[in-house]
């Protein structure tokens, strides 16, 4: 899998989900690793917030926007489902 941070603008990794809305396949590993690198960057997750619940919504939305730039998700019934599934993944 390529370095996601270095993907050309407009190029995204397609992530598939199973019937339990869990990401599956090599792309799911790529998503997980990308989120891991993102939350280690101070610009996304400042160290001043000691736990996820203290993180301002604006920072979470910024992370989600970055994820959407790099990943494409198979269609679900609503954007709400995608947000919920991905943000649960970020919380781990």
Instruction: Give 19-40 pLDDT, tens digit per residue.
Output: 787 889 999 999 999 999 998 9
Phi-psi region of 6 (alpha: psi -120 to 50; beta: other; left: phi over 0): alpha
- Is 4 inside a domain boundary? no
Contact between residue 38 and residue 68 where contact means Cβ atoms under 8 Å apart: no
Q: HSE on the CB side for 92, CA within 13 Å?
A: 11
Residue 47 lies in a domain: yes
Domain count, the chain: 1
CA dihedral sign of residues 17, 81, 37, 1:
positive
Q: pTM of the entire structure?
A: 0.75
Residue 3 lies in a domain: no
Mean pLDDT across the chain, nearest whole number? 85
Identify whether 2 is part of a domain. Answer: no
Question: Is 1 inside a domain boundary?
Answer: no
Residue 73 lies in a domain: yes
pLDDT at 6: 93
Domain span holding position 57: 11-91
List the one residue out of 2, 51, 53 whose CA is nearest residue 30: 2
The larger pLDDT score, comparing residue 5 to residue 18, is at: 5
Residue in the block written with tokens 């610009």:
43
Look at residue 42 and tell me if it is in a domain: yes
Q: How confident is the model at residue 44 (pLDDT cuts 50, 70, 90)?
A: very high
Given a cut of 60, is residue 70 above it in pLDDT?
yes
The verdict on residue 5 lying in a domain is no
């Amino acid at each position: 899998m390529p370095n996601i941070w270095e993907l050309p603008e407009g190029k995204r990794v397609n992530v598939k989900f199973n019937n339990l809305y869990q990401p599956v396949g090599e792309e799911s590993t790529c998503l997980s690793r990308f989120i891991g690198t993102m939350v280690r960057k101070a610009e996304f997750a400042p160290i001043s917030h000691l736990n996820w619940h203290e993180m301002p919504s604006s920072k979470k939305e910024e992370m989600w926007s970055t994820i959407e730039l790099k990943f494409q998700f198979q269609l679900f019934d609503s954007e709400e489902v995608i947000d919920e599934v991905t943000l649960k993944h970020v919380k781990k």
